[in-house]
Amino acid sequence: MIQVQVGDITRLEVDAIVNAANSSLLGGGGVDGAIHRAAGPELLAYCRGLGGCETGDAKITPGFRLPARYVIHTVGPVWRGGDAGEPDLLASCYRRSLELAVENAAVSIAFPCISTGVYGYPKSAAAEIAVATVRDFARLDAIEQVVLCCFDEPAAILHRRALEDNQ
Residues contributing to the site for ligand ADP (CB under 6 A):
8-10, 20, 30-32, 34, 76, 112-119, 149, 151, 155
Count of CB atoms situated within 10 Å of the CB of 87: 17
Residue closer to ligand ADP (CB basis): 108 or 116:
116
Residue at 136: amino acid letter? D
Q: How many helices and strands in the chain, by DSSP H and E?
A: 5, 6
Residue closer to ligand ADP (CB basis): 79 or 137:
79
Residue closer to ligand ADP (CB basis): 11 or 69:
11
Minimum Å gap between C-beta 32 and ligand ADP is: 6
Residue at 39: amino acid letter? A
75 close to 91: Cβ distance less than 8 angstroms: no
Residue closer to ligand ADP (CB basis): 106 or 148:
148
- b/e burial code for range 143-164 (CB count within 10 A of at least 16 → b): beebbbbbbeeebbbbbbebbe
Minimum Å gap between C-beta 17 and ligand ADP is: 9
Minimum Å gap between C-beta 37 and ligand ADP is: 9
Minimum Å gap between C-beta 141 and ligand ADP is: 27
What are the φ and ψ backbone dihedral angles of 141, each rounded to 5 degrees? -60, -25
